[in-house]
Structure 1
């Protein structure tokens, strides 16, 4: 799988994830009826899951997305607070935000782990100094963006601003994530478009040439 394919999949995943939140936010903002809004969100989550299955994609993202929406609906129903619809996603993002610096210190930036999972190459990128550095830089920028967005969502949650949380997610977070994916992919491509002299690098073949010159075959 090449990098444009990965970028396209990231955009598609963002749109699919946002669909239930869009249905919930629009419904709750216009009707004020929590149960109806939750039913619409769950219905859209089911449609997204079916679409993912029909596209012959892995069943786990489909089940995961639907389960997250069902959990969100259950929490909001039990508490009677619309803001609790966003609580499972906030908790998941908080866990990721806390784990990210730890993984980066272990030289396991999450961006590299995700790329290895999508491409099926596992942790091969760790043996490439150029890619390891690129994933670390890209992940640092992404972490700063995600932390700032999550901080605002936590503030809105504590204030019980359910509609504001939905509007912020759809009008700020989704565009920010899509733009960041494009910009960070360009940064990654620029950082990896250079020779790699790692002896065990599985992505580059370095051959010694005349006068100490090296020829590098990459990607």
Structure 2
């Protein structure tokens, strides 16, 4: 075994569930630009409606801003994931609002999405298949191996609860505002309970992850790697001084 291979084996041996999930969370946030791209269409829609009470104008500004942000991303040849998600969201919201002629209906798809998402996540926890566990599966290449370790299942359940709470809070806060037709407050709540709350949720997950070091399923420990090297004679050969 070469020195580089030995170094890679040692690095893999130190890989943990916590490290794998932290890496995926960092990718999911998208940075400050991704957060802004998710908020701009909603801000413009809400402000335009409050000033003009012209639904078509508000929808046009919201959708138009998302399209413009997407074009900028394409011109820069950078990832379009976050702005595309924003475009899809504002597009569905525009369809609902224009179909009924009520500005508050632009927020109904988001409320329904969070309600369904909450039910699915809670169901996965109750069934002992917490959704976060599949992040582990995507890293190890085995989608279900993590379920054989009760410690990993418990950790993934805790992390999944931290994903559920923001969704539940959004429904609890926004649905009464929707029923009351309070568009301004709906827009404010959607922005405040959107990325800021998601970032707080991910921050809480990182804090939980920082407290433990759970080996990835199937990983060898550093001692196992050393024992393997000794058993094949490579460890002894590396340590044997040159004659």
TM-score, shorter chain, exceeding 0.5: yes
Aligned mate of 1:112, from 103, 115, 133:
133
* In 2: Cα distance, 1:121 partner to 1:17 partner: 31
8 Å CA contact 2:104, 2:181 repeated in 1: yes
Aligned to 1:213: none
CA distance in 1, matches of 2:67, 2:142: 30
User: Which aligned pairs between 1:36-75 and structure 2 lie closer than 5 A?
Assistant: 36-51=57-72, 53=74, 54-57=76-79, 63-75=84-96
With normalisation by structure 2, the TM-score equals 0.68
1:126-145 equivalences under 5 Å are: 126=146, 129=149, 130-145=151-166
Give 5+ residue unaligned stretches, structure 2. Answer: 1-18, 225-243
Q: Which residue of 1 aligns with 2:200?
A: 179
TM-score, normalised via structure 1 length: 0.75
Which residue matches 2:187? 166
- Specify which of 188, 193, 209 is matched with residue 209 of structure 2: 188
User: 1:123 maps to what in 2?
Assistant: 143
> How far did residue 15 of structure 1 move?
3.5
Q: Is the 8 A contact 2:177 2:185 kept in 1?
A: yes
Aligned to 1:6: 25
Q: Please give the alpha-carbon distance, in whole angstroms, between the structure 2 residues aligned to 1:128 and 1:47.
A: 47
Match of 1:77 in 2: 98
Q: How far off its partner does 1:137 sit?
A: 0.5
Question: For the residues of structure 2 that align with 1:79 and 1:16, how far apart are their CA atoms?
Answer: 27
Of stretches 140-149 and 47-56 in structure 1, the one that deviates more from structure 2 is 47-56
Q: CA deviation at 1:138?
A: 1.6
Query: Given the alignment of the two structures, is residue 93 of structure 1 paired with residue 114 of structure 2, yes or no?
Result: yes
Q: Greater relative contact order (Cα 8 A, min sep 6): structure 1 or 2?
A: 2
Which structure would you say has the larger Rg?
2
1:149-186 CA-partner distances (Å, limit 9, x unpaired):
22111111111111111111223443222122112212
Decide whether aligned partners of structure 1 residues 36 and 125 sit closer, same or farther in structure 2, where only a CA change above 3 A counts: farther
| Secondary structure, counterpart of 2:210 in structure 1 | helix
CA-atom RMSD, angstroms? 3.2
What are the Cα deviations for residues 101-159 of structure 1, in whole angstroms up to 9, with x where unaligned?
11123333233335756x68562672573443222102113323321222111111111
Shift of 1:42: 0.2
CA distance in 2, matches of 1:95, 1:122: 27
Looking at structure 2, the residues matched to 120 and 28 of structure 1 have their Cα atoms a distance apart, in angstroms, of 48
- By how many angstroms is 1:17 displaced? 2.3
Q: Is the aligned partner of 1:205 residue 2:221?
A: yes
